[in-house]
Amino acid sequence: MIIDYHTHHERCGHATGSIRDMIEKAIQQGISHIGISDHSPLYIYEEDHFNPGMTMAKSEFPNYYKEIFELKEEYKGMIDVRLGVESDYFEGWETFYKELYSQYSFDFIIGSVHYFGGYHVFNPERWKGTNVDRDEIYKEYFSLVRKAANSGMFDILGHIDAVKGLGYQPVSSMQKEMEETANVIAKSNMAVELNTSGIRKCGEIFPSTNFLSLLHDRGVPFTFGSDAHSPEELSHGWKEALAELKQLGVTELATFENRERKMMPLNELLVEHKR
């Protein structure tokens, strides 16, 4: 059995392939649970489609949910399609997004910090200039991850150290920041994903081995997400992620249905698959 709870498709504007394409590829790979979790619209802006290259339009969100729901029924018995969304965390918009998502029967919601300090987390412009304080950028990012954890909005926290994604390292170790963040996440009762898009971006899973260890020591549950932006990227890094977990002594992974978490023993998950 293989699970992958973080996938994107063409609706968001920077991924390729339809939801059906993703599901068909997942069946070929032997995936048992595929979570469809495209980027939520940017409701903080008045425009229907503020940034077509990054998220879907507000008017498209109901269609997105309807399509997943219909495909879930169509593929029943062949693969378990889980209905999800990757939601941006915006401070001050917690109530709005909670009320929005309550209108849909999602299986899970991933909460991620993408936008802070005037830039997207993977925008290289953030790091340019002579006065850039890398430590402060990291601290701001982790502060928002803690607020996302405290919000109670999400089931999974996405790529919780994605700030390292372009390879710019802080001057300090950030150990205190990671410990504080791990403490908050542990109290939140949310799961953290092993997001293997970090392997493609900076050669390391999100979160780092050290961060994973801090979380595991505090009893935080984990799940897996390839953050695939094409069918070909589905389950990317699955073996590497399982190896990380087993080395830490993790014995189970989180799965989600109707926003309820169920833990699956790692010994039921195969390392070898049809990728």
> Does some domain include residue 274?
no
> Does some domain include residue 63?
yes
Question: Radius of gyration of the chain from Cα atoms?
Answer: 18
> Helix/strand/coil (H, E, C) string of the chain?
CCEECCECCHHHCCCCCCHHHHHHHHHHHCCCEEEECCECCCCCCCCCCCCCCCCCCHHHHHHHHHHHHHHHHHCCCCCEEEEEEEEECCCCCHHHHHHHHCCCCCCEEEEECCEECCEECCCHHHHCCCCCCHHHHHHHHHHHHHHHHHCCCCCEECCCCHHHCCCCCCCCCCHHHHHHHHHHHHHHCCEEEEECHHHHHHCCCECCHHHHHHHHHCCCCEEEECCECCHHHCCCCHHHHHHHHHHHCCCEEEEEECCEEEEEEHHHCCCCCCC
- What's the number of domains the chain is made of? 1
> Does some domain include residue 275?
no
**What domain range includes position 261?**
3-268
> Does some domain include residue 246?
yes
pTM: 0.96
> Does some domain include residue 28?
yes
- 270's CB contacts (< 8 A; 6+ apart) are 1, 2, 30
> Does some domain include residue 273?
no
CATH code of the domain covering residue 132: 3.20.20.140
- Reading the chain (275 residues) residue by residue, the pLDDT tens digits are 799 999 999 999 999 999 999 999 999 999 999 999 999 999 999 999 999 999 999 999 999 999 999 999 999 999 999 999 999 999 999 999 999 999 999 999 999 999 999 999 999 999 998 899 999 999 999 999 999 999 999 999 999 999 999 999 999 999 999 999 999 999 999 999 999 999 999 999 999 999 999 999 999 999 999 999 999 999 999 999 999 999 999 999 999 999 999 999 988 776 544 44
